[in-house]
Amino acid sequence: MKFETVIVNGDVITEQGQQALDIGIRGGKITALLARGTPVEAVETIDAAGRLVLPGAVDIHFHCRAPAYPQRGDFATETRAAAAGGVTTIFEMPISKPCCATGEIFRSRKALGEANAYVNFGLYGAPGLLDRREIADMCSEGAIGFKIFMTGAPAGRNDEFDGLCLPLVDELYQAMQMVAETGLVCTVHAEDNRLLEWHTARLKAANRNDIAAHGESRPPHVEALAIATLLTLNEQIGMNLHIAHLSCAEALEVFRRFKRTGSTATAETCPHYLFFTEDDLARVGPYAKINPPLRQQSDQDALWGGLQDGSLIAVTTDHSPFTVEEKERARTDIWRTPPGSPGVEELVLGMMDTALTGRLTIDHAARLISTNGAKRFGIYPQKGVIAVQADADLVIYDPNQTTTIHPDMLFSQAKACDKLYEGKTFRGKICRTLVNGRTVFEDGVITGEPGWGKFVRPVRENVYKGF
């Protein structure tokens, strides 16, 4: 047997568990899984002795800001960061300027990604114009799914959210019906807009503009009520519903109640809710302003429980790059700075550290950051798994080293805003990332090229509901 690349001597994380296998790669795909030491011919041999070989992470919730805000990040800078973090596929949210709510805008963003992405990418569409023709157009172009905000557009950013924000329940209901007709997944940012506005108005009336006021404006019941609304509507609509960035115990318990009565909805959480709490606001200030906000330790404990019992199927970054200048506005007025934090370079490190220290198994960590997201959105078994005929999206990971985060090692355009993780040490190191069989990151250096990442479209029949 002859291969373009063979990875030898590694401990390979497959769906059957950790196995001593060699991996043969040809034409960008895994073409053989061989018993360790099987004689083969290969143009390139990668020795993974003492290391784990993981399926590349699939980050199902990601923002890159292209093309309107290159100072924040773009497809090139943020997918380089993804490659360095062991993320081989990203799903880009439709917040753009203008919002990705039509087929024409979708095609423009797709061309931009194809020219600049270092890793594979899918694109969400926004269905909030309530136009079936535009929704169908985005579907035909290969939309990975759709995204809805239950909140209003942030002040001054209306064009970025036009077609994305549906704070009125009647319009939300219509959009859900239209997306249900496509068979694709719809990811929803679930916060009740009326309650959110009421809490915010009370704080502003009391002249509160400190950093802590942000979290107080979005208490857990704002999220829990929105999830209850969504799941109630969906009992009749039957859309493939996915809850974005679930952050607290109260919301999780509401979600579980509906699951117990047959809901097929799924939900994710994010590393910043798993590794940080509202106490970190005092440490990093505005750089920890995120929606939904960081919560209490009891919420964090509940989320880990949700991962362990399968209530939450995925851990995804909500990677959101902004500039230092934008974030620093909150030093004097929390309402003036945009919410979001980078994090794509710490997803694999954080979840593997958790697995290596015993909170999760390595197999479970791989499912949470790779396999489950690929299944839910209909790109499995092409992505999210190490198996014959899967794409050769792979991460070589050394569990015997450590990685301490500092800005000089990061690739995101927003690395100076990555304050939550700065100084944090993880067990393990990402040594090498392969995308479609080619090395794009190795030993701290980006070796790939813009445009190597491929556009990923879902297979609707493969959208998985059985979690």
Q: Indicate whether 156 pLDDT > 90.
A: no
Dihedral sign computed on CA atoms, order 163, 165, 166, 167:
negative
Same domain, 328 and 398: no
Nearest-angstrom CA–CA distance, 191 and 227: 8
Peptide linkage before 292 cis (omega within 30 of 0): yes
Domain region containing 393: 2-53+388-413+424-446
Nearest-angstrom CA–CA distance, 398 and 50: 7
Task: List the one residue out of 348, 335, 346, 331 whose CA is nearest residue 287.
Answer: 331
The pLDDT > 70 percentage for the chain reads: 100
Q: Indicate whether 402 pLDDT > 90.
A: yes
Same domain, 376 and 398: no
Same domain, 345 and 399: no
Task: List the one residue out of 400, 381, 402 whose CA is nearest residue 390.
Answer: 381
Instruction: List, for residues 86-116, the tens digit of each pLDDT value.
Output: 999 999 999 999 999 999 999 999 999 999 9
Contact 384, 378 (CB under 8 A): no
Tokens of 127: 């269905």
Same domain, 344 and 398: no
Q: Indicate whether 68 pLDDT > 90.
A: no
- Please give the pLDDT value at position 141: 98
CATH number of the domain encompassing residue 19: 2.30.40.10
- Specify the number of domains making up the chain: 2
Nearest-angstrom CA–CA distance, 161 and 169: 17
Average confidence (pLDDT) over 146-174: 94
Evaluate whether residue 92 is within a structural domain: yes
Measured in whole angstroms, how far is the alpha carbon of residue 3 from the centre of its chain? 32
Evaluate whether residue 271 is within a structural domain: yes
Instruction: List, for residues 187-197, the tens digit of each pLDDT value.
Output: 999 999 999 99
Nearest-angstrom CA–CA distance, 50 and 70: 40
Evaluate whether residue 192 is within a structural domain: yes
Same domain, 9 and 125: no
- Please give the pLDDT value at position 330: 85
Nearest-angstrom CA–CA distance, 382 and 456: 10
Evaluate whether residue 9 is within a structural domain: yes
Q: What is the Rg, in whole angstroms, of the alpha carbon atoms belonging to the chain?
A: 21
DSSP class of 264: -
Q: Where are the beta strands (DSSP E) in 244-393?
A: 266-269, 314-315
Same domain, 395 and 378: no
- Please give the pLDDT value at position 74: 96
CATH number of the domain encompassing residue 187: 3.20.20.140
Q: Indicate whether 289 pLDDT > 80.
A: yes
Tokens of 91: 């799903």
Nearest-angstrom CA–CA distance, 127 and 106: 12
Evaluate whether residue 358 is within a structural domain: yes
Q: Indicate whether 1 pLDDT > 80.
A: no
Evaluate whether residue 455 is within a structural domain: no
Return all residues near 75 (Cβ < 8 A) that are at least 6 apart: 64, 66, 92, 112, 113, 115, 116, 117, 121, 450
Q: Indicate whether 162 pLDDT > 90.
A: yes
- Please give the pLDDT value at position 67: 87
Q: Is 383 exposed, middle or buried, given 0-12, 13-18 or 19+ CB atoms closer than 10 A?
A: buried
- Please give the pLDDT value at position 216: 97
Same domain, 287 and 328: yes
Instruction: List, for residues 215-228, the tens digit of each pLDDT value.
Output: 999 999 999 999 99
- Please give the pLDDT value at position 163: 96
As beta bridge partners, residue 185 has 240
Same domain, 21 and 41: yes
- Starting at the edge strand that comes first in sequence, how are the strands of the sheet with 240-243 ordered? 57-62, 87-92, 120-125, 145-149, 185-189, 240-243, 266-269, 314-315
Task: List the one residue out of 409, 87, 405 whose CA is nearest residue 276.
Answer: 405
- Please give the pLDDT value at position 154: 87
Evaluate whether residue 459 is within a structural domain: no
Task: List the one residue out of 235, 251, 220 whose CA is nearest residue 243.
Answer: 251
Distances (CA, A) of 349 to 170, 316, 433, 461: 42, 13, 13, 32
Count of positions (residues) in the chain: 467
Same domain, 48 and 70: no
Contact 247, 292 (CB under 8 A): yes
Return all residues near 329 (Cβ < 8 A) that are at least 6 apart: 286, 336, 337
Angle value at C-alpha 36, between 35 and 39, nearest 5 degrees = 85
Same domain, 75 and 47: no
Q: Indicate whether 455 pLDDT > 90.
A: yes
Say what the pTM is: 0.98
The pLDDT > 90 percentage for the chain reads: 96
Evaluate whether residue 458 is within a structural domain: no
196 vs 159, higher pLDDT: 196
Single-letter amino acid, residue 434: L
Same domain, 298 and 442: no
Same domain, 142 and 201: yes
